[in-house]
A = this chain, B = another copy of it.
């Protein structure tokens, strides 16, 4: 639970993927247990039933978009809460068994998203190689290690774990690609506000009309709450029925965001609170912060001033 530091971690496996790499940026995870799960549902269920304290799962990728299964599983079943986000640069490498050279590579194993992201590099450096789809970046590395395929597109950690030689690194076409992961726990009070927090929500709209989503956005806009992310997912009932996943600037403990949440509760068929947590901070070595906090129309100072003014009015001081 939030409050008790987690010691038993589960992550989307297999070993050697970006999820493991992301988990190892958390110092508590370095000292705790780290168990790979075969799927996002398995990882989240491990937390739900108490087999793990926290699960590290992917939320979205700046190229591939939202990870639908994570969003869907967060809102189906017992409530869970995001307590932390980790944003990891996606750096693909071309790994192969020691001694392999580029000109001898005829087959490359890759997860379809990985080969899509490296299409430019492959066209230039391996125009004649056959790219074979496999089911994960970890599986790609493993298949190169066994010699099933000549090379693999994988994460640096995957190459290291399979003892592959790195023939080329940073081979993705978008150099700034990142994946955003969430650390998810069982519910409890959110950590304290840090001044630069995000709040994640899932909102359900009763009617499939433009006005309903408009109302949701107005509740936020009127309070000066900015969205950093909006994703729609089908609810599964029918085409045209969506649940919207929103990430907003601010913390559930803030006046401003609290007011907006109350407003959403009133206009939406349902609102699921998915956590308030600090925005990911970039260290110098990890490069530039890719998304700055969006500036808001109204400073928190203005908000505090307006609250004080209202208190004066209520006390009869209208000067």
Contact = CB atoms under 8 A, between A and B. Distances in A.
Contacts of A64: 68, 234
Interface in A271-318: 272-273, 290-291, 294, 298, 302-303, 305-307, 309-310, 313-318
A305 B266 CA distance: 9
Contacts of A290: 238-239
Contacts of A26: none
Contact of A319 (B79, B229, B232, B305): B79
A47 to B, nearest CB: 14
A220 B227 contact: no
Contacts of A252: 310, 313-314
Nearest to A248: B210
Nearest to A3: B316
A189 to B, nearest CB: 3
A191 to B, nearest CB: 11
A94 interface: no
Given A208-B226, A209-B227, 4 more contacts: A62-B238, A210-B225, A240-B291, A262-B306
24 contacts: A2-B316, A60-B234, A61-B234, A62-B237, A62-B238, A69-B116, A81-B318, A180-B239, A187-B316, A189-B314, A190-B314, A190-B316, A208-B228, A209-B294, A213-B217, A213-B227, A213-B230, A218-B222, A224-B266, A228-B240, A229-B239, A230-B242, A261-B313, A272-B318
Q: How large is the interface on A (under 10, 10 to 19, 20 to 34, 35 or more residues)?
A: 35 or more
Copies in the complex: 4
The 8 A-B pairs with the shortest beta carbon distances in the complex, nearest first, are A189-B316, A265-B306, A188-B316, A240-B291, A262-B306, A214-B217, A238-B290, A210-B227
Contact of A238 (B135, B176, B230, B253): B176
